[in-house]
Amino acid sequence: MPVEEMKPIPVASMASAISFGCSNSVIQMGVNNGSVINHFHMPIEEIKEINTRPCDQSQAHYIIPSLENRHFTGRESTLDELKQKLFLQPNTEKIALFGLGGIGKTQVALQLARWAKTHIQDCSVFWAPALSLESFEQACSQIARSFKELQIHQNPDDESAMELVHRQLSSDKAGKWLLIVDNADDVDLLFDELDQYFPASKKGVTLLTTRSHEVAVSFAGRDTVELQKMTTEEGIAFLTKIVGEDSLCGQKSTMQLLEELNFLPLAIAQAAFYICRNNGTTTRYLELMYKTEKDRMRLASREFHDSTRYRKMPNAVTTTWLISFNQIKGADPSAADLLGFISYLEPKAIPRSVLPTLGSEEEIESAIGTLCGYGFLSRRDNEDMFDMHSLVQLSTRVWISEAQKTQQIIATVTQHIDKCFPSDEYTNRETWRILLPHALKILRREENKDVSERYSLLSKVGNCVLADGRAKEAVTLFGDVCAWNESHYDEEHPSRLASQHELARAYQSNGQIKQAMEILEHVVTVKERMLDEEHPDRLASLHELAIAYQSSGQIKQAVELLEHVVAVEGRTLDEEHPDRLASRHELAIAYQSNGQAKEAMELLEHVVAVKERMLDEEHPDRLASRHELARVYQSNGQIKQAVELLEDVVAVKERMLDEEHPDRLASRHELARVYQSNGQIKQAVELLEDVVAVKERMLDEEHPDRLASQHELAIAYQSNGQAKEAIELLEHVVAVKERMLDEEHPSRLASQHTLAWAYQSNGLIKQAIELLEHVVAVQGRTLDEEHPDRLASQHELARAYRSNGQIKQTIELLEHVVAVKERMLDEEHPDRLAAQRALQDINQSIKVEIMENTFSSSPTDIGTGT
């Protein structure tokens, strides 16, 4: 009967409406108060209604194991799907339930068997384990004896129990039956030996459970059901049933444990029995799991007694899966090799590109299919990305360890990843970000310390994490490379020098300027002895040393070095060569720090023009030069251009980079400074508070970048009327810098200058004068007369003198500052105008005071003349 012609079934008639396999058969259940009709697609919800009505069992026989599991939890959706396919779907003779070993297939099948016994009238239920030929034969013998007891059939002497069961259940005399063939995991045993004995009848159906998707499909075609891991609710309920509420240490630790166990019932049971046996808790078990890999291996390999499972079957997760691993090795050696390889990668987001070549595309696709079929590997919607749970990886590593192949496979994985890992070029960023977690995972293994490719991979990864702003990690990685190279190569070996150069770069990015300078001075000395003046490696180390000098406040040395590098590269490299542009960029920054604003601007405008012609909008080198040009614009009083440029740079970086990336933070810091110069104080405070919060989370207290942003935030606070916050923050910054930096360091002097300004703004004039006199004295020894920082401090000291009534000193200082600025700066430059106004104001004030004093004099005094 077509579905659209069906009439609604009265509630009282539901129990009579379930068909069994064949569209022409009807199972009578409960009381039938209406006519019996055929019904092919009864909803699962109506099965639940029927489940409350036990059937008459007098016409059926049951061979079901007594593996009662009082902890069984959930699985309703899978059971409902099986009931739908077994008892409602027409023309169904075979169903396969498949899933990972330990996922609970046997327990679900047992629940189904007991449900069928209780609720399906006149339906025999038989259970036959397919662990081995012997276990299947034994089950068939028991089924055959039940036939004999029911006087269904007499067994001829030459007929085996398996043949008898096959013949009897295939006949119409057997009536309705459900045969469950459990643990059919051995492909050869199943299809070479057992398959011929599986009965076929329109009145019966065979349910087979297996770990293998391939077996499931080969046996039942499309009629397969995959058993998934437990849901969160099922996992919590299952664990709680075994250990009790008292052993659960809150929802967080319970969820952490269940996630570590992949919500796998066998793993949960194993952990639960360990907790019970040791009177422990979920937190303590997690602590053991997180200790070392050996501890994790011991926990996962620990056997425990479980009366709900077959005798002599392994109960530990690792030993349960060893069966599958060995089956895979026998049937598909390439899949076994791939399993071993993946077990040493990061478990999540495994790209197809990192997997080894196994001979041919078809071979690797087949190997992937095998692992996915066993549930050890899962393919994401994007078919080029995979996941493997850490518990599967751990068990695989146990298997590899027992075969004494750990070092061999780790070496293979290291060599392969080194081969496919790209350089840190910007264009490769998407690729190396995908590969980084897997490279870092294998690099953490102790067993590959003597694999030479490890150090090649360490260098590649170090450069990439440095490009990603992860300076601390880069220091550790390059430190390992340097230690290896120093123990294997002479002082002049290129590999040793290259790794020292990269370690110095990482030190510098991490704020460890002194260490960077020491290494680079050594490297430059060796390279100047070995290499020609024009050699790129020699120039690269000179360039890097100049950056270190600048960071250390040795601006003149930095300018000299960079001018030399730029001159040499000007002779040897094209205008658009990245190295030439990088050195000119760095020289412009040094010029700016040295007070050569005009030269800095000219150089940077040229560099930016070339890079905008050559590079994408998002290229880090293009963004870096635009950032620096904005800083120069700000220093030159071109605030509007600076704001426009930095707002664009920040917008691009916020699209591209993580919140914690140093380049993104640097540009946001600089934009806040420009906002202050533009009078946008509130925006500056908001931006800097966010930047400082991120840096305080990421960086050490003494890191220059953290201190720089705290310094700038204090200035913003002062401008915003938050004097107390400004002084507190600046006193902290100055204290840290006085601990860290030499007396002459520009950064230390800058913060002392700013603290003095805050003191003066808040009426603490004496403290301001003491600090500024110190700063001016030091800058008088270290900076040229025309240097902007020296002039700024002199100007600020003049303001303090005036506030303190020291008019003569004020005028002398301001006249000097104005004279120098009039020589140096354009007529309309804000700094020049500010100094001129200050001098005019003080002179005007003096005139007013003289006039007031004259008119207030007594007539007698004025007129006496004596």
**Which pLDDT value is given to residue 862?**
32
722: left (phi over 0), alpha (psi -120 to 50) or beta: beta
3-state secondary structure of 752: helix
Tell me how far apart the alpha carbons of residues 358 and 370 are, in angstroms, rounded to a whole number: 14
Tell me how far apart the alpha carbons of residues 712 and 688 are, in angstroms, rounded to a whole number: 7
Tell me how far apart the alpha carbons of residues 548 and 467 are, in angstroms, rounded to a whole number: 18
Helices (H), 353-451: 361-373, 390-402, 406-420, 429-443
**Which pLDDT value is given to residue 155?**
53
Q: Both tokens of residue 582? A: 């990088």
pLDDT per position as a tens digit, 746-782: 889 999 999 999 999 999 999 999 999 999 999 999 8
**Which pLDDT value is given to residue 427?**
85
DSSP 443-474: HT-GGGTT-HHHHHHHHHHHHHHHHTT-HHHH
| CB atoms closer than 10 angstroms to residue 512 | 20
Bridge partners of residue 27, in order along the sequence: 18
Residues 6+ apart with CB under 8 A from 515: 504, 507
3-state secondary structure of 182: strand
Tell me how far apart the alpha carbons of residues 470 and 433 are, in angstroms, rounded to a whole number: 12
**Which pLDDT value is given to residue 6?**
31
| CB atoms closer than 10 angstroms to residue 245 | 6
**Which pLDDT value is given to residue 31?**
28
Helix axes 333-342, 317-331, angle to 10 degrees: 140
User: What residue ranges of the chain have pLDDT lower than 70?
Assistant: 1-59, 67-68, 148-158, 246-247, 295, 297, 300-316, 319, 382, 847-866
**Which pLDDT value is given to residue 8?**
33
**Which pLDDT value is given to residue 568?**
96
Residues 6+ apart with CB under 8 A from 52: none
Tell me how far apart the alpha carbons of residues 117 and 62 are, in angstroms, rounded to a whole number: 7
**Which pLDDT value is given to residue 827?**
81
The answer to whether the beta carbons of residues 535 and 567 sit under 8 Å apart is no
**Which pLDDT value is given to residue 521?**
97
